Amino acid sequence: MLEINATETVREGSVFGQITTMDHEQLVICHDQPTGLKALIGIHNTVLGPALGGTRMWPYATEEEAITDVLRLSRGMTFKNALAGLNLGGGKAVIIGDPKQKNEAFLRRFGRFVESLGGRYVTAEDVNMKTSDMEYIAMETRHVTGLPQIKGGAGDPSPVTAFGVYMGMKAAAKKAFGSDSLQGKKIGVQGVGQVGKYLIDYLVKEGAEILITDIFEDKLKEVAKSSGATVVDPNVIYDLPMDIYAPCALGATINDQTIDRLKCAVIAGGANNQLKDEAKHGKILMDKGVIYAPDFLINAGGVINVGAEYYGDYHEETVFAQAQKIYDTCLTILDKSQKENIPAQQAAIEAAKARIEAIGRLKLPF
């Protein structure tokens, strides 16, 4: 295991340069030849508490792509946990490879790497990871959450994540349309995985007109059949007129190639890091008059769920009640954005930083 700490002398563009620019505390490189495990753990900030964030597994094209992803995701977790009012810092892990590589030995070896950090990082499930995978990891470390209910955990956090996104979407709709009702609104959901499916359930109950897309056709057919949603091609979702665009797959879908194609009044979805360049694209959306609900603000339901489990104080009613507060927090951030004439992403980051600085009694440059 190789540890890279943010106190080292750095060169711009290097790995050290990246963790310094984003003000990470630590980047951990994990490698195990017998199992083929290659993983990265990013610890961004631990002022509020241990760095909690899920582990995702993905066949990254390059190691540089994986490093960028883990650094951006862990930074986002710091802001997410702070805005959600949790006493948790921000971290994230990525495992490089095909999810088919996973087996007991592979996952338990990763668990040992998590354990070696002594509680500075707490893991949970994310893309291509399941609650059953957390069971194997938990055999090697107690610093894991999101376990199955039969193992004493809270189970799949996706329903709470989706509920928080739904609350944030309604708040953004109120800001954009004067009412938080989604009845009759045309909403494009990009990605019909666990979070996307649960979100669609809420939209169906509200009477929204739903468009769905995904790269996995079997998932699309299943969700279309159960919800009555209209299936659209992944390549044209950006070109279709709609009231709300809800990215619920991987991040960076709002980028130089897509931002001018979007024909929506609101963007509110469950994906992480939706803005490819948060400063540039956040400003463009503001100038276009598009209401953007910051992703790390409205998709915090999942971390609220697993955080309660980790601290041994899980009650489903309390967790959903806390996730419901995302509605008011989102309205506060959107009002701050409008009042100060700054992008919503910037307004949310400033609010998160303010809480961390108040608790930590120090000024953090990130």
Nearest alpha carbon to residue 87 among 51, 55, 122: 51
Contact predicate 201/227, CB 8 Å = yes
Contact predicate 264/287, CB 8 Å = no
Q: Is 193 annotated as a binding residue?
A: yes
Q: Is 196 annotated as a binding residue?
A: yes
Q: How far apart are CA 140 and CA 43, in angstroms?
A: 20
Query: What token pair was written down for 66?
Result: 């994986």
Q: Is 184 annotated as a binding residue?
A: no
Q: Is 15 annotated as a binding residue?
A: no
In three-state secondary structure terms, 245 is strand
Contact predicate 79/90, CB 8 Å = yes
Catalytic (active site) residue 276: no
In three-state secondary structure terms, 73 is helix
Q: How far apart are CA 346 and CA 279, in angstroms?
A: 8
Q: Which helix (H) or strand (E) holds 246?
A: strand 244-247
Q: Of these residues, 38, 92, 185, 197, which one is catalytic?
A: 92
Nearest alpha carbon to residue 134 among 111, 157, 115: 111
Residue with tokens 């540089």: 64
Q: Is 194 annotated as a binding residue?
A: yes
Q: Is 192 annotated as a binding residue?
A: yes
Nearest alpha carbon to residue 106 among 131, 74, 139: 139
Show binding-site residues. Answer: 191-196
So which residues are the catalytic ones?
A: 92
Show binding-site residues for NAD(+). Answer: 191-196
